[in-house]
Structure 1
Amino acid sequence: MKTSLTAIGILALSGFPLELAAQEAAGEQSSEENRIVITADRFIMPALRGIKPERSLDESDVESYGSATVGEFLDEIKAQNGDEDPVFLVDGERVAGIEDIEDLPAEAIDALDVLPRGTSQMAGGVPNRRVYNIVLKKQLRSAVVTSSARFATEGGWAEGRGEIALTRIAGRDRLNAALRYRDSDALLESDRDLAQPALARDLPIFGLTDTADIAAARTLKPDSHVIEASLAGANRLAPWLSASFNLRGRWSRDDSLNGLANALFTDAGGEILRAYSRAPLEQSFAFDSASGNLVLNADVGRWLISLAGQRNRSARSFEADFAPAGIAAGPRLPAGVDPAVEPLDAFFAITTGRSNSRGATDGVRLNALGPLLALPAGDARVRGALEFRRDTQTSVSDFGAGRRLRDVSRRTRGGEIGVDIPIASARQDVLSGLGELNMSFDYARSDVEGAGVLDRITIGTLWQPIAPLSITASFERANLPVPVEVLGDPLTITPNIRIVDLPTGQTVDVDFLSGGNAGLRSATHETRRFAINASPWPEIGLNVFADYRGETLRDTIGFVSSASLPFYTAFADRFVRDGAGLLIAVDGRPVNFARQEREELRWGASFLLPIGGSETASPSNSADDAGSDSYIAIPPGAGTRLQFVLAHTLALRDRVFLSDAASPIDLLEGGAIGLGGGRPRHILDASAALSARGQGIRMATQWRSASRLITGNSAQDRLDFGGLATVNVRAFTDLDRILQPSGFTKGARVSLSIINVANDRQIVSDDDGVTPLAYQKAYRDPIGRIVEIELRKAF
């Protein structure tokens, strides 16, 4: 009820034409003859011609999301599809990545085609991924200024954002420059209703009158500042040669408070006491990066040759104040010092630990794709690649145990080869009863310095028996080297991290060690996927899908967790206790798990229902597409449209074996490898959108089922993590629809977003209904409900 009222209220405030939409629906004929469907050729590389997209979105579809940039829009689509790192094509040509286009205004998109899973290798990408083909408008020249303010309705936190973007698109040439800034306030524990651990009264306590002083000295969210700049473009150098590039830079700073130092002292009379500092421990983190990518695409006869180069640089620095916890009688205070009167900060052994690291990546990759030989069902296409890459990570850290230097350098040389074999083709009238059927085989081999020779084998099939149905299946086995930064990251210590010590049941603040581990082994991943996608009712854009994924991961990399009892046994040396048995430090650096087994099924549906009259969609084909045999049905642009997306993820299995001899940790039955508890068996994502000519409203919700965490040896020793449903709403409208049209309102749009409308947070409780201090609701979601107002002006 609250959600419905909120949605209706936002619609009323935005002036959304509900009555107009109803009138259009009633006044216009709905017969099929009034619908205009455009069948258009799309820019697409030859290897993908003839493959029907699973989803095709036009300009009106893009507008219904209310996204400001191409990147925001694609993030929404990827989340709906459950995609990880798809291959991106722009006007049918391969680009280095989403960085090439993510800062373009959303208005630059003319259409988006989402191709079936398993088409990525046909475009020279990593197997088992989809291809997203973004068709840009032929002409666009714009300057966009965006400003937004976000704040927590519970107070204590606010964030401001600003962005300037300049864009020019002329045919196949484009150039985009963007500059953005983000400033976030720090959120203190005292800004939320958080209980603090009770003070140990075994010794006299000085410097702390109330645990509220601790809350005022700890941050839930840091004070954060980020500046990002980018320059990306593409150019047709010759009829047969094109280039795309992107340059990016980032500067960020985070500052936070880690509570009060405490230590044992001996006063002049020989009595042992515990004292707290008056000034909080401070922590700061800085990250700077610069990257550049260049891709050259050449059409050589019927072959596509691409050369991609990258150069990335990054620098990180971390500083944290910390004081060794007192485990025996502390230093004696000088005569005349009364701890009840004056602060003892000057007598604490507080030091500042520091770490710095620099990373660099340089690489070049040569790809070639083209026909190998003619078969009855079509050309068998072969692809090959050669790659050279050099990664370095240099770090230094000093957290009280002397300077530690690390220098990791790794060269990678490798190649791969793959082939696509058409088995059947209705277009070629070969086994036409089977529709379109292709098989693909890929083999990659890399010589990785320090890790040896690593292989990857992929077998896949793509079957489209009829136009609205596609079925894909694949198997992949890959040896994966440990990322250089995981090997070479500096050792850091963060004090006063709050956790539950499961063996004792106490909530304690510990020093948490993080950083790289040079002794990690390469992992082996086996992945099995089977997916079905169907569009049985094109008139309303109905799309149904099911995607099964099974994985077996050997020597996979994970982190030592304090949230699961098996870790205390398997990695006992990672949990440090004082003489009284109190947990004071946890070494959370990464380790190899012997094996992990995961299976999940994701299924759902989406549809788009035009309401009222339709507008003729503009064909996106041009002379450049002559001879293309990729035909895609583009739904007509509609004055008002209603869109629904629903996806359900069912976890079938998720088990971790810390060692070959250990019993499995079942993440679906009370096990955990992280602080978040066990994995929910069900995740439901749904969204609904109503849009019409420059204004709309979108509602998205996610529900996660309950899970549990076994904390002892009996069924009663457990924590229950309640189910959680969150709802986000976004409404937007062109200003000239709610204000008198003027020069200012032209091209201006205002948006109102509410994140976590009901301000719900996950509830964690033990068998007695008590929530451990480390699992309080504000720790699960510090900010809570967020309201954002955004003003965007396009010139």
Structure 2
Amino acid sequence: MPRLSTTASFLAIAAFTAAPAAAQVDPAPAGAIAQDGAAPGVEEGVEEGEAEIVVTAERLRGQVDTDVPPVLELDAEEIASYGAGSIEELIEQLAPQTGSGRGRGSGRPVFLVNGQRVGGFREFRRYPPEAIQKVEVLPEEVALQFGYPADQRVINFILKDNFASREVELEYGGPDRGGTANGEIELSQLTIDGSRRTNIGFEFNTNSMLTEAERDIVQTPGSTPTVAGDPDPAAFRSLRADAESWELDATINDTLGDAPGTGTYSLNAGIERGFSRSLSGLDVVTLTDGGASAVRTIDDDPLERRRRATTYSLGGSLNKPVGDWMLDATLDGSRADTTTLIDARRDTGVLQDMVDAGELAIDGPLPALAPGGTDRADSTTYSADFKTTLRGTPFTLPAGEVRATFDAGYSWNRIESTDTRSDAGELAQTRGNLTAGVNLGLPIASAREGFLGALGEVNLNLAAGVDRLSDFGTLADATAGLAWRPTEALTLQASYIWREAAPSLSQLGDPVVTDYNVPVYDFSRGESVLATIVTGGNPDLAAETQRDIKLAANYELELFSRTNIVVEYFRNRSDDVTQSFPLLTPAIEEAFPDRVVRDGAGNLVSIDRRPVTFAGTRSARLRYGINMFGRVGKEATDGESDRRGGARAGGRARAGAGEGAQPPANGGEGPPAPAGTARQAGPGAQDGRGQARGRFDPARMAELRERFCAAPEGEVPDLSGLPERMLARLKGADGQVDPARVAMLRERFCSEEGAAAGGQFGRMDPERFAALRRALCADPAAPVDLDALPERVRARLAGADGQVDPARLAAFRERICAMPAPPAGGEARQGGEGTQGAGRSGGGGRGGGAGRFGRHGDGQGRWNLGLYHSIEFENEVLVAPGGPVLDQLDGQAIGSGIPRHKIELEGGLFYKGLGLRLSGDYQSATRIDGTGLPGSQDLFFDDIATFDLRAFVNLEQQEWLAGEPGFWKGARLSLRVDNLFDARQRVTDASGAVPVSYQPLLTDPLGRTFEIEFRKLF
């Protein structure tokens, strides 16, 4: 009994100061054995100093096992502070932190769910954020562990074990200038029961057309009729298409069998249909007679472009332990059918012939002409991507275990296209790609393992892969990276990537499409004109060779709740680069003369904008930023604090067991590793965060308790020797010890019942706790009536298959039955439906659990700020071998110019159900040089800063507004303002005039937009 009392006393301090779950029902998985003999389920509560214990337990389920620390971590309360309606929206708000500065890849991060690959983004993109227990954003190098190239960051979503919701979301919005509007209806349902997940969602979107007449756009010379009575083409030229689309998708995840550890599978399917209609102006003709000329409109029927697209998607995944390895297999397939109808121009040559013959006056009534007909372009694209990875630890080096990933896969893509404007008939291109690769994570030095510990943690990463493409032959890639963690707070990384990459099949084989009357700025003549633009694929593109260097540092500061600084340097070199056809500057026209058509007078007629191959590119940039997280408001009382969910004491290990613990051999799926597979840490060993660990000394803990409780009531006791983390929990916002907190801890820690049971009685009604004890302890030999257990307790006792795990139940039963009954008239915090501990520790109870709209937690609000700055040092393009080298930072851009500076801002505040988010983007000024010849003009693009604001209110928390929750339970109202200050980039020529094709309302016709959203979660 003395040992039990001492251990319980330690738990009382840990419950108040560091790990709230230690004061809640937290049955440990089988195999989680405490070194000092404490009951299973005790979370890490150790600190620097001599009063320490060793706890061996499993890593947080679903956490990525890597030696590279995350760039960003969010717990449930912090996720709620973003006010997002889905995982997809949350990712949009995290753009500064999830974006990669490498300049490669498709732009979308690599996604994991519970530390495992998934069949596709659509599998989970509609999940409400309330279903997430934790988010990890990891550097690009971690993608190699899962069979992906290191060109995008990795986002891992750790889901709650038990969650169920139905969601309705309604949106309506439009620009403050009017002219167009958009709306959205979204319905979804999600159920999570351990490894079993089902989700179905439907979304409908619509937006109306916006024309140039509704923005008073000045028309391009040559497009406006000069004869009275002809219609103004501005009303027949669209700035925004009229469009509608709908999507329906469904996903199911389940276990492969009833036995724990058999693995999981998922299936997802979806269909998406969309329609859009845009206008390209009127069919006009310029008639000339005896030196006089006039622009005439043939009729008032606009030239339309109509597009219909239907996409079918099917995918799935398999995650299965194979011995000590984890096998992941994913399949993602789709078919997309697209039809584009383009009105053709009428044959107006006969009109000029009639004028020349004197049969028609240029300002007289025009005769009727036969319709120009309709051109049609059809394309069907097929894609299937199958990838498998085998992950494990094949052997151990002196510095630790070697992590290995073997990947293999096959992808198949095909494009079939026809176009009535081409005589080539049906075109088809097919690509098959057989891939294989290996990635090794080699520990070089480790203070944790006691090998070259003076260096800290040093890990080498080596990867290599090969692609066998049916249309490009064999391509290869190789990566070498070094991660060094000299201190707990600082991580340094260096990597080199060499890769051969082929153009996409769409860049090679997209159907050729012609658009008429497109406003274009002609740099050679310094004028805006209407030109014909040709787009599509180019089958003559070459494979690209990439050579990239990345240097990075991540430094964690003890500032606010937590702060980290990220610094990254990128240097990219490429040969034979596929690029969309750039802006038609004089240098580009000189390099690609066959892509431009001019008439006899030098007027620009058409541009072929199909992709081209540049000889090479060179770039170098620095990206650095800071992420800060803090809390506002008064912390809840001790009892309220116990109800919070997902709270963190800081650091990755604090969300689960200590990082020194061994993760499950199956990668987090199925039962934890058996007892004995975890590292056994003796005195003097170190945990995953480099802190010293040793056996807990009961005598020293008893001495600490005696000294703490000896102080007279009302006085602050001697706190020397108290672990730093525990001492920090006794301090108020001013950093000084708060007597009220000390008194609260004293009452729990020094009372008779607190000494006996660790202060663990204080919340649940004693009758419920007594009923729990009767169900578990009345007859130790009898089976437990599971229906008698609270739902949250059953959820926490569930294994990977969703069923109550007998081993967990036995451990929990032993723990509860060994405890004394609660004092009469008191309340018990242990277990029961009155707490959220069981459900939350395992990921939240049904209906959302802790963190739902931030209703629970410690009573404090959350704020965060992310600020990133990018500096371009070099950005050059070699157009052709021996050809011109274009410095995009010095007026020779192939687009609108590369800004030397970019700033990204994202931050917000959430408190008592009220949230405010602000994001911003800034880019510095650029310019594009003309030829310097008469008529040619330089263009200057001013710097620009835009801000987006989002305010939201959780109506169920606003009694002054909604009264009792009732219908408003789970409801949220949001207002979003994009481009808050209606900023538009100003473009001028050397004289300060704005070219017609760069009118602010033409380049950005929407400007400031408002959107109101109502969301209800059932």
Q: Deviations over 1:285-313 (max 9, x none)?
A: 22221112211111112111122222211
The residue aligned with 1:467 is: 488
Choose the corresponding residue for 1:61, options 67, 78, 90. Answer: 78
Choose the corresponding residue for 1:739, options 957, 962, 966. Answer: 962
The residue aligned with 1:298 is: 320
The higher-RCO structure (CA 8 Å, 6+ apart) is 2
Choose the corresponding residue for 1:224, options 226, 230, 243. Answer: 243
Closer, same or farther: CA 325–511 of 1 in aligned 2, 3 Å: farther
Could you tell me which amino acid in structure 1 is paired with residue 884 of structure 2? S
The residue aligned with 2:1008 is: 785
Shift of residue 537 of structure 1?
Answer: 1.3
Contact 2:76 2:645 in 1 (8 A): no
Structure having the larger proportion of residues in helix: 2
Query: For 1:327 and 1:706, how far apart are their aligned partners in 2?
Result: 45
- 3-state SS of paired residue (1:444): strand
Choose the corresponding residue for 2:944, options 724, 728, 751. Answer: 724
Query: For 1:505 and 1:348, how far apart are their aligned partners in 2?
Result: 36
- 3-state SS of paired residue (2:340): strand
Query: For 1:628 and 1:466, how far apart are their aligned partners in 2?
Result: 24
Query: For 1:794 and 1:779, how far apart are their aligned partners in 2?
Result: 40
Choose the corresponding residue for 2:886, options 651, 665, 680. Answer: 665
Deviates more, 1:374-383 or 1:40-49: 40-49
Shift of residue 33 of structure 1?
Answer: 8.0
Query: For 1:600 and 1:271, how far apart are their aligned partners in 2?
Result: 56
Shift of residue 274 of structure 1?
Answer: 4.2
The residue aligned with 1:687 is: 906
Shift of residue 744 of structure 1?
Answer: 1.8
Shift of residue 45 of structure 1?
Answer: 6.8
How many pairs align?
A: 755
RMSD: 3.0
Shift of residue 585 of structure 1?
Answer: 0.9
Q: How do 1:384-403 residues align onto structure 2 when only pairs under 5 Å count?
A: 384-399=406-421, 401-402=422-423
Closer, same or farther: CA 200–406 of 1 in aligned 2, 3 Å: closer
> Does residue 582 of structure 2 align to residue 561 of structure 1?
yes
Contact 1:283 1:320 in 2 (8 A): yes
Choose the corresponding residue for 2:533, options 491, 512, 516. Answer: 512
The residue aligned with 1:415 is: 436
Unpaired segments of 5 or more residues in structure 1?
1-31
Choose the corresponding residue for 2:919, options 700, 706, 715. Answer: 700
Query: For 1:521 and 1:628, how far apart are their aligned partners in 2?
Result: 51
Shift of residue 206 of structure 1?
Answer: 4.2
> Does residue 375 of structure 2 align to residue 353 of structure 1?
yes
Shift of residue 649 of structure 1?
Answer: 0.9
Closer, same or farther: CA 34–80 of 1 in aligned 2, 3 Å: same
- 3-state SS of paired residue (2:183): strand
The residue aligned with 1:578 is: 599
Percent of paired sites with the same residue? 27
Could you tell me which amino acid in structure 2 is paired with residue 587 of structure 1? D
Structure having the larger proportion of residues in strand: 1
Contact 1:322 1:353 in 2 (8 A): yes
> Does residue 147 of structure 2 align to residue 121 of structure 1?
no
Contact 1:762 1:777 in 2 (8 A): yes
Query: For 1:208 and 1:417, how far apart are their aligned partners in 2?
Result: 71
Closer, same or farther: CA 170–72 of 1 in aligned 2, 3 Å: same
The residue aligned with 1:259 is: 281
Choose the corresponding residue for 1:713, options 924, 927, 932. Answer: 932
The residue aligned with 1:23 is: none
Shift of residue 765 of structure 1?
Answer: 0.7
Could you tell me which amino acid in structure 1 is paired with residue 1009 of structure 2? I
Shift of residue 686 of structure 1?
Answer: 1.4
Contact 2:498 2:547 in 1 (8 A): yes
- 3-state SS of paired residue (1:216): helix
Could you tell me which amino acid in structure 2 is paired with residue 181 of structure 1? F
Deviates more, 1:369-378 or 1:595-604: 369-378
Shift of residue 790 of structure 1?
Answer: 0.2
Shift of residue 352 of structure 1?
Answer: 2.1
Shift of residue 262 of structure 1?
Answer: 1.4
Query: For 2:625 and 2:427, how far apart are their aligned partners in 1?
Result: 48
Q: Provide the TM-score with structure 1 as the length reference.
A: 0.89
Contact 1:751 1:789 in 2 (8 A): yes
Q: Deviations over 1:88-145 (max 9, x none)?
A: 2222222234322111011111111223441221233323543322111121111100
- 3-state SS of paired residue (1:119): helix
Shift of residue 276 of structure 1?
Answer: 1.4
- 3-state SS of paired residue (1:196): coil
Query: For 2:912 and 2:117, how far apart are their aligned partners in 1?
Result: 32
Query: For 1:685 and 1:366, how far apart are their aligned partners in 2?
Result: 36
Query: For 1:745 and 1:235, how far apart are their aligned partners in 2?
Result: 33
Choose the corresponding residue for 2:863, options 632, 642, 657. Answer: 642
Choose the corresponding residue for 1:618, options 618, 637, 645. Answer: 645
The residue aligned with 1:364 is: 386
Could you tell me which amino acid in structure 2 is paired with residue 259 of structure 1? G
Query: For 2:678 and 2:557, how far apart are their aligned partners in 1?
Result: 25
Closer, same or farther: CA 773–628 of 1 in aligned 2, 3 Å: farther
Could you tell me which amino acid in structure 2 is paired with residue 526 of structure 1? R
Query: For 2:416 and 2:884, how far apart are their aligned partners in 1?
Result: 38
Could you tell me which amino acid in structure 2 is paired with residue 386 of structure 1? A
Deviates more, 1:386-395 or 1:508-517: 386-395
> Does residue 93 of structure 2 align to residue 76 of structure 1?
yes
> Does residue 791 of structure 2 align to residue 768 of structure 1?
no
Deviates more, 1:557-566 or 1:785-794: 557-566
Closer, same or farther: CA 234–472 of 1 in aligned 2, 3 Å: farther
The residue aligned with 1:430 is: 451
The residue aligned with 1:759 is: 982
Q: Provide the TM-score with structure 2 as the length reference.
A: 0.70
Shift of residue 340 of structure 1?
Answer: 4.9
Closer, same or farther: CA 459–51 of 1 in aligned 2, 3 Å: closer
Query: For 1:108 and 1:148, how far apart are their aligned partners in 2?
Result: 22
Contact 1:118 1:461 in 2 (8 A): no
Could you tell me which amino acid in structure 2 is paired with residue 240 of structure 1? T
Q: How do 1:122-161 residues align onto structure 2 when only pairs under 5 Å count?
A: 122-161=145-184
Unpaired segments of 5 or more residues in structure 2?
1-14, 22-42, 45-57, 101-106, 636-640, 647-654, 658-669, 680-686, 690-724, 726-840, 842-850, 852-856
> Does residue 513 of structure 2 align to residue 492 of structure 1?
yes
The residue aligned with 2:972 is: 749
- 3-state SS of paired residue (2:408): strand
Shift of residue 76 of structure 1?
Answer: 2.2
Shift of residue 557 of structure 1?
Answer: 0.9
The residue aligned with 1:235 is: 254
Query: For 2:59 and 2:136, how far apart are their aligned partners in 1?
Result: 9
Shift of residue 56 of structure 1?
Answer: 1.9
Query: For 1:97 and 1:79, how far apart are their aligned partners in 2?
Result: 23
Q: Deviations over 1:490-532 (max 9, x none)?
A: 1110111101111111210111000011111111112211111
Could you tell me which amino acid in structure 2 is paired with residue 431 of structure 1? L
Contact 2:338 2:378 in 1 (8 A): yes
Deviates more, 1:605-614 or 1:461-470: 461-470
Choose the corresponding residue for 2:212, options 176, 185, 189. Answer: 189
Closer, same or farther: CA 224–392 of 1 in aligned 2, 3 Å: same
Shift of residue 200 of structure 1?
Answer: 8.4
Shift of residue 156 of structure 1?
Answer: 0.5
Shift of residue 717 of structure 1?
Answer: 3.8
- 3-state SS of paired residue (1:260): coil
Could you tell me which amino acid in structure 2 is paired with residue 670 of structure 1? G
The residue aligned with 1:16 is: none
Query: For 1:335 and 1:328, how far apart are their aligned partners in 2?
Result: 12
Could you tell me which amino acid in structure 2 is paired with residue 92 of structure 1? G
Closer, same or farther: CA 371–216 of 1 in aligned 2, 3 Å: same
The residue aligned with 2:335 is: 313
Contact 1:206 1:340 in 2 (8 A): yes
Q: Deviations over 1:65-85 (max 9, x none)?
A: 110001111232243332344
Shift of residue 589 of structure 1?
Answer: 0.5
> Does residue 875 of structure 2 align to residue 654 of structure 1?
yes
Closer, same or farther: CA 51–455 of 1 in aligned 2, 3 Å: closer
Shift of residue 362 of structure 1?
Answer: 2.1
Query: For 1:52 and 1:271, how far apart are their aligned partners in 2?
Result: 74
- 3-state SS of paired residue (1:67): coil
Could you tell me which amino acid in structure 2 is paired with residue 618 of structure 1? G
